[in-house]
A and B are shown apart, each in its own frame.
Chain A
Amino acid sequence: MPWLKHTPFRHGIHPPEHKEDTAHLAIKQFPFAPLLIVPFSQHIGKPAIPVVKAHDEVIRGQLLAKADGYMSVPIHAPASGVVRKIGMVSSITGAMVSGLYLEPFPASTQEVLEGKPCPLDASKEQIITAIQNAGIAGLGGAAFPTHVKLNIPEGEQVDTILINGIECEPYLTTDHRVMLEQTRDVFTGIRYLLKATGAERAIIGVEANKPDAALKLKENIPNGLPAIVEVLNVKYPQGAEKMLIKTLLNREVPAGAHSVEIGVVGVNVATAAEIGRLLPHGRGIQERVITVGGAAVNQKGNYRIPIGTPLRFILDTVGVTGALNEVFLGGPMMGQSAPSLDIPITKGTSGVIAFTDGKLMTRRCYHCIHCGRCVEACPMLLNPSQLGLLAKKQHYEVMADEYQLKECFECGACSFVCPSHIPLVQYFRIAKAQLKKAQLKSVQAA
């Protein structure tokens, strides 16, 4: 029984899951939009450098932009078509970023350009390079370049690869479907990951609300592959790497350290599946699985959508009832509000959730009443109440120095439970931005 086996991480919350709308729906291929918007930076790190020119004809899977150094990944053509323009494109933050517009040929097919396959018995370095060349950045949402994570620093030893199939965000069911439908890809991916890191074993963590996925994985573990599947009690934010490591291995990542330092590398299950799907063919990422859901959407489901598809095309295709009021990318706990429908989905987009009745903005905000619910919710064991009061007074240094603001990864648990409706996470984001600004200033002054 899973609830006896693992001591879960402390605190956390249980938001309504809303997964029943799409969890049972198989992944469907999405059509090509008439115009795709492909930003050159879809990952944390340096933007890729374009290698095509305007009016160039490209084939699906062809390299559009190459990695700019180690902390960068390349971008591949999501469809066969013509590059219309290279320049600035709109992004989720509202800022314009560099990218290109690609107009797919009307007859563009799902066929993808084959590259140089990376065999399973390739060397460590070859696999890591192949993963970078495939343009893979964490598909769970953070979009951190995966090859950087897998390159174990000198002197560190990794014993375990954690495959993160938790998917604790409400509404999202992409990892769930990937585990069910791409089981083989997941295990192929794990083979590459074990080889690349030198880890002895892989543990796939799945929450108990996806019993079919856990069973499918358990039944299909290839002979001789040192992988196990662990079913965990549902609790948000268990999908956060630090929380998952704590629950599964009872190891605590020390403050300011990386999981590598305690012998663990965590990889999202969709990322693992993508590695297993792409590397044997030497391909790059051209599409990803996304849950399109929320009360406003007619044909909710899990779709394999080409990178760069604009939200407007996605929502037009699935149909929307009523006037859209709120659209966000990712889950409702950590996802970002879309400022307009003319922005593309990128490698880090796990969900497109649309509502016609956003009510959060109109709620009355009370003063903190010290109820302590945020303190009991914070998985990082911080004091959000105190941090919020300090943020209001703009005591950002105190927040950082005495109340460990930097440990906050903005999971949203505190804001979710706050009966005073204080936008705590927003306060913390502002505080972090201000601290960064001040730090930059002092560096420049020195």
Chain B
Amino acid sequence: MSNKTLQIHSSPHISNGASVDVIMRNVVYALFPVVVFSIYAFGLAAFFTIIFAVLACLLTEHLLCRWSKQTTTVNDWSVAITGIIYGLTLPPGLPLWMTVVGGVLAVSLGKFIFGGLGCNPFNPALVGRAFLQAAFPTAMTSWMAPFASDRFTTIPTSTLALPLFSPTYDSLSSATPLAAMKFSQQSSETVDLLLGLTSGSLGETCSVLILLGGLYLIVRNMMNWRIPAGIFIAVILLSAVFHFIDPVRFPNVVFMLFTGGLMLGAMFMATDMVASPITNVGCFIYGLLIGALVVVIRLWSGMPEGVMYAILFANAVSPHIDRYFQPTPFGHQG
């Protein structure tokens, strides 16, 4: 028997092999079909927007790590998720320079200044998007119709707008289902909403694929299903009540569920582990809060969509939810 030095460490001496990078990588897998559909629906505009969004996020994180003399954290895959989700929330045809600005801000102000992965109070992707929404409201609400015949051959002129210049749009913009409902009381076909045949942000249109991705993560225990469950329950209950009160002014439950960023937000943004509560009860309440806020913003604010602000607000409340819903230790009941 050889006399090699023995390792000493504190128990337990085994682990189940789970790892942060594995979880993060699986979220990327779950998002992959959504990305593919987005490119299929919006063509080159989507392709370049997502590529630029991801590259901007990855590079920002890498350079910031280098600059602050830390080992790069790009390989934990979390910034890849931020990049993809950020890209998916953008409207097709957004100038690429805006995409880059938002991506840089998402990672630097949304994540890095708080200490990187695990420390960000808000979902970084949404921080980037919120900045763009505030800075470039017109560009952020100009929508392209999906499935344009020339989508794989030409890049929209707006996408290639020079930095600091406002984009010009070559095709007629098409209203999102939520805007059509809000401003002209027009509803959309449920099948179109499910399959993603409407206009909207890059990744929010195809509810079916988003749900499948979320289901994959839930099955693999990489997402707390109580968050989307809470969101859906709140949205269903509240919108059912309002639709019952005034069916003309308030849209029905199905429309509320499958339009806008609700699916993508509920499945992939609200569920960001870092910015959501840790206990199951907390997660459910956090979900209910987001759902309620979405309904309130959509029905009464000046904006047609409210998922982003609802999630950011709930992110801010999340530590307080955690505080109030601590588990009661064994032997402390009664």
**Out of A340, A368, A403, A419, which one reaches B18, CB within 8 Å?**
A419
Q: B-facing mask of A387-415, CB < 8 A → 1, else 0?
A: 00000000000000001100100101001
CB distance from B30 to the nearest CB of A (A): 15
Expressed in whole angstroms, the Cα–Cα distance for A250 and B93 within the complex equals 62
Q: Does A339 contact B (CB under 8 A)?
A: yes
The residue in chain B whose Cβ has the minimal distance to the Cβ of A243 is: B330
Neighbouring B residues of A341 by C-beta, 8 Å: 6
Q: How many residues of A contact B (CB 8 A)?
A: 73
CB distance from A295 to the nearest CB of B (A): 12
Neighbouring B residues of A225 by C-beta, 8 Å: none
Neighbouring A residues of B10 by C-beta, 8 Å: 337, 423, 425-426, 429
Q: Are A332 and B13 in contact (CB under 8 A)?
A: yes
The residue in chain A whose Cβ has the minimal distance to the Cβ of B327 is: A381
The residue in chain B whose Cβ has the minimal distance to the Cβ of A254 is: B331
Q: Are A170 and B331 in contact (CB under 8 A)?
A: no
Q: A254-B331, A255-B332 are in contact. Are A417 and B16 (CB under 8 A)?
A: yes
Q: Which of A40-48, A112-120, A319-327 contacts B (4 or more CB under 8 A)?
A: A319-327
Q: B-facing mask of A297-333, CB < 8 A → 1, else 0?
A: 0000000000000001001100010011111100011
Q: Are A325 and B6 in contact (CB under 8 A)?
A: yes
**Out of A328, A385, A423, A426, which one reaches B278, CB within 8 Å?**
A385
Q: Are B1 and A415 in contact (CB under 8 A)?
A: no
Q: Which of A19-27, A28-36, A282-290, A371-379 contacts B (4 or more CB under 8 A)?
A: A371-379
The residue in chain B whose Cβ has the minimal distance to the Cβ of A320 is: B1
Expressed in whole angstroms, the Cα–Cα distance for A332 and B14 within the complex equals 6
Expressed in whole angstroms, the Cα–Cα distance for A325 and B328 within the complex equals 40
Counting contact residues on chain B (CB < 8 A from A), the size range is 35 or more
Neighbouring B residues of A421 by C-beta, 8 Å: 15, 19
Q: A327-B6, A372-B278, A425-B11 are in contact. Are A257 and B331 (CB under 8 A)?
A: yes
Q: Which of A142-150, A175-183, A359-367 contacts B (4 or more CB under 8 A)?
A: A359-367
Q: A315-B1, A370-B278 are in contact. Are A339 and B6 (CB under 8 A)?
A: yes
Q: A382-B329, A415-B15, A418-B18 are in contact. Are A370 and B8 (CB under 8 A)?
A: no
CB distance from B27 to the nearest CB of A (A): 11
Q: Are A370 and B118 in contact (CB under 8 A)?
A: yes
CB distance from A181 to the nearest CB of B (A): 28
Q: Does B302 contact A (CB under 8 A)?
A: no
**Out of B4, B13, B274, B330, which one reaches A323, CB within 8 Å?**
B4
Q: Does B68 contact A (CB under 8 A)?
A: no
Q: Does B117 contact A (CB under 8 A)?
A: yes
**Out of A366, A380, A416, which one reaches B12, CB within 8 Å?**
A416
Q: A315-B1, A407-B331, A416-B15 are in contact. Are A369 and B9 (CB under 8 A)?
A: no
Q: Are A366 and B6 in contact (CB under 8 A)?
A: no
Neighbouring A residues of B278 by C-beta, 8 Å: 370-372, 375, 383, 385-386
* B contacts with A: majority SS: loop
Q: Does A98 contact B (CB under 8 A)?
A: no
The residue in chain A whose Cβ has the minimal distance to the Cβ of B4 is: A323
Neighbouring A residues of B7 by C-beta, 8 Å: 325-326, 337, 358, 361
Q: Are B11 and A373 in contact (CB under 8 A)?
A: no
**Out of B2, B14, B118, B331, which one reaches A416, CB within 8 Å?**
B14
Q: Does B119 contact A (CB under 8 A)?
A: yes
The residue in chain A whose Cβ has the minimal distance to the Cβ of B118 is: A367
**Out of A9, A257, A372, A383, which one reaches B280, CB within 8 Å?**
A372
Q: A-facing mask of B24-41, CB < 8 A → 1, else 0?
A: 000000000000000000
Neighbouring A residues of B119 by C-beta, 8 Å: 367
Q: A328-B13, A360-B9, A419-B22 are in contact. Are A372 and B224 (CB under 8 A)?
A: yes
CB distance from B321 to the nearest CB of A (A): 12
Expressed in whole angstroms, the Cα–Cα distance for A33 and B20 within the complex equals 46
Expressed in whole angstroms, the Cα–Cα distance for A416 and B16 within the complex equals 6
Q: Are A404 and B332 in contact (CB under 8 A)?
A: yes
Q: Does A161 contact B (CB under 8 A)?
A: no
Expressed in whole angstroms, the Cα–Cα distance for A254 and B329 within the complex equals 10
CB distance from A316 to the nearest CB of B (A): 6
Q: Does A209 contact B (CB under 8 A)?
A: no
Expressed in whole angstroms, the Cα–Cα distance for A16 and B16 within the complex equals 8
CB distance from B99 to the nearest CB of A (A): 26
Q: Does B273 contact A (CB under 8 A)?
A: yes
Nearest 7 CB-CB pairs, A to B?
Answer: A367-B118, A412-B12, A426-B10, A255-B331, A419-B18, A337-B8, A323-B4
